[in-house]
Copies of this chain bind each other. A is one copy, B any other.
């Protein structure tokens, strides 16, 4: 299983992905699910992927290869909209080529991408590419996209993130979101790749590979867990249950 999330804030973009890949019951390995295409001063493009590993890898490899062989490519287009379109086309091409063979063995050939970044003077943009190759763009109302195991990590993002959130706080929120996901779904696992891009910089400001021993992540994880338990303990018990005489009820001497 995979968990990837990307935020589009006024201050810039934050990208994060886990690295665990599960190809059959006993084949668990780590593959990077974050790819960058960067030419400083010109463009920063980040891609996160989830789904069938051969499909996602080959779609991105094809995107990269076309960057060397075709005129209209990831390095020459002047809008992130075009880049999302190019990625969707590559995904369709790979699925057309491999999909029928995978279908013969009932292998799921679906794949999703989050792609974002900035090209020259265009604003930063963030897109989600669906398994069919079509895509949508993030806006101020929904300033983030998730792919993979999305539900466990969504509530904290919904509670905290707005377009005004500073990058540092956004990174903290993304790590709490990963902590919640990994706690509830063991097939999402460390290391986490996390990257930050400041609007207008046209270079990747910051990239971190968070492993099992990362002291900051361990601290966040422990303090968040303790904090939640503390808040829960501080909530009052239901009065109507007290009234019914069941509060702190002990089982009768029955069995």
Chain A 216-252 interface residues, beta-carbon cutoff 8 Å to B: 216, 219-220, 223-225, 227-232, 234-242, 244, 246-252
> In whole Å, how far is A199's beta carbon from the nearest beta carbon of chain B?
4
Q: Do A167 and B200 touch (CB < 8 A)?
A: no
What B residues does A227 contact at CB under 8 A? 230-232, 234-235
Contacts of A51 in B (CB 8 A): none
Contacts of A74 in B (CB 8 A): none
Contact: B198 with A228, CB < 8 Å? no
Give the copy number.
2
Who on chain B is nearest to A183 by CB?
A: B155
Complex formed: what's the CA distance from A123 to B239 in Å?
28
- Selected from B159, B168, B175, the residue in CB contact (under 8 A) with A228 is B159
Task: State A234–B223 Cα separation when bound (angstroms).
Answer: 9
Q: Are the CB atoms of B168 and A246 closer together than 8 Å?
A: yes
Q: Is A21 an interface residue (CB 8 A)?
A: no
B238 touches A175 (CB 8 A): yes
CB distance A166 to B255 under 8 Å? no
Could you say which of A27-35, A101-109, A134-142, A201-209 contacts chain B? A201-209
What residues of B have a CB within 8 angstroms of the CB of A230 in the complex?
227, 231
Chain B residues with Cβ below 8 Å from A239 are 216
- Is the pair B12, A249 in contact by a Cβ cutoff of 8 Å? yes
Question: Any chain B CB within 8 A of the CB of A72?
Answer: no
- When distances are taken between beta carbons in the complex, the residues of chain B under 8 Å from A246 are 167-168, 196, 198, 205-206
Pick from B154, B184, B208, B236: contact of A154, CB below 8 A. Answer: B184
Specify which chain B residues have a CB less than 8 angstroms from the CB of A198 in the assembled complex: 246, 249, 251-252
Closest chain B CB from A157 CB (angstroms): 10
Q: Which of B10, B229, B241, B255 contacts A251 (CB 8 A)?
A: B10
- Among A10, A12, A156, A235, the one with the most B-chain Cβ atoms within 10 Å of its Cβ is A235
Contacts A10-B251, A198-B251, A249-B12: A160 and B242 contacting too (C-beta < 8 A)? Answer: no
The residues of B that contact A154 with a CB separation of less than 8 Å are 152, 184
Judge if A65 is at the interface, Cβ distance under 8 Å: no
Are A224 and B216 interface neighbours, CB within 8 A?
no
Cα A208 to Cα B229 with chains together (Å)? 25
9 closest Cβ pairs, A-B complex: A200-B254, A227-B231, A151-B151, A168-B237, A168-B247, A199-B251, A206-B244, A200-B252, A168-B241
